[in-house]
Amino acid sequence: TTLGGAAALAFAAARRPTPAAFAGIAWLGLTAEFALHRILPGPKTPEELAKMAVTSVLIPPAALGHRLAGEVRVRRPRPAARAILFDRDDTLIHDEPYNNDPELVRPVPGAEDVLRRLRAAGVPVGVVSNQSGVARGLITPAELAAVNARVEELLGPFGTWQVCVHADGDGCCCRKPKPGLVTRAALALGVRPEDCVLIGDIGADIEAARAAGARGVLVPTPRTRAAEIEAARRDALVAGDLAEAVGLAMGDRAW
């Protein structure tokens, strides 16, 4: 619709009436169809009809401009993360619900390699994890510490561990999707939240990153809901595995 209108104006300015007329008819027909779809549900008052007619002319170029601006924005090179934060379960290690046994800790494929490379490159890394099993009485603080120690034994040291042990109804400010874990991790690592990238497997990770002003990368698993993946495709980044996620965070898909 917008291109038809622009072509009509351009041909008219070039004193080419025939193509200007064809382009103008195309623009008018598409605009009328758009307006009709918006008018039919009603109400059909004179004021509403006038409003629909005017806005049906304005919306297509506004929408096209918004789309083009978004295309330019998402294709700009993203600055490399100054620190990377990881969710724990189903991101760094396979999820064992309410795990209180260090012997059940199993890293996901590629975790050891990407962490080794990040440390070699001098990029601070941290873990931000919800562990409501403590509040529910399913995990003791000592068992949680033992499991986290096993993660470090297998994957190396992290610059910070930020863990929320509260349940959903506790009203804390740290449980993802709230930003507390991310902002505290950034402070502990000596960077701003906006300089961090949080890599996780569910929508709460992406929402926590956004709430803190950080960027998020979703690495879906079979447990990740389709709606969470779709939302991440619109507002964040989606990666096929941990290595690709780190590559996106560092501005290099081939990381």
Convert the pLDDT of each residue in 193-227 to its tens digit. Answer: 999 999 999 999 999 999 999 999 999 999 999 99
Answer whether residue 11 is part of any domain: yes
Same domain, 113 and 218: yes
Total number of domains in the chain? 2
- Of 75, 104, 132, the last residue of a domain is 75
The model's confidence at residue 132, banded by pLDDT at 50, 70 and 90, is very high
pLDDT of 78 above 70: no
Q: Do the Cβ atoms of 191 and 124 come closer than 8 Å? A: yes
Which string of DSSP letters, residue by residue, matches 142-185?
A: HHHHHHHHHHHHHH---SEEEEE---GGG--S-STTSSHHHHHH
| Active-site pick, 89, 90, 201, 205 | 89
Same domain, 122 and 229: yes
Answer whether residue 254 is part of any domain: no
pTM of the model: 0.71
Judge whether 170 counts as a catalytic residue.
no
Same domain, 91 and 198: yes
Query: What CATH number is given to the structural domain containing 105?
Result: 3.40.50.1000
Q: Do the Cβ atoms of 238 and 229 come closer than 8 Å? A: yes
Answer whether residue 135 is part of any domain: yes
Q: Do the Cβ atoms of 223 and 201 come closer than 8 Å? A: yes
Residues in the chain: 255
pLDDT of 253 above 60: no
Judge whether 113 counts as a catalytic residue.
no
Same domain, 131 and 195: yes
Same domain, 69 and 140: no
Q: Which residue range is the domain that position 130 belongs to? A: 83-249
Q: Which two tokens stand for residue 131?
A: 């562990």
- Of 26, 51, 75, the last residue of a domain is 75
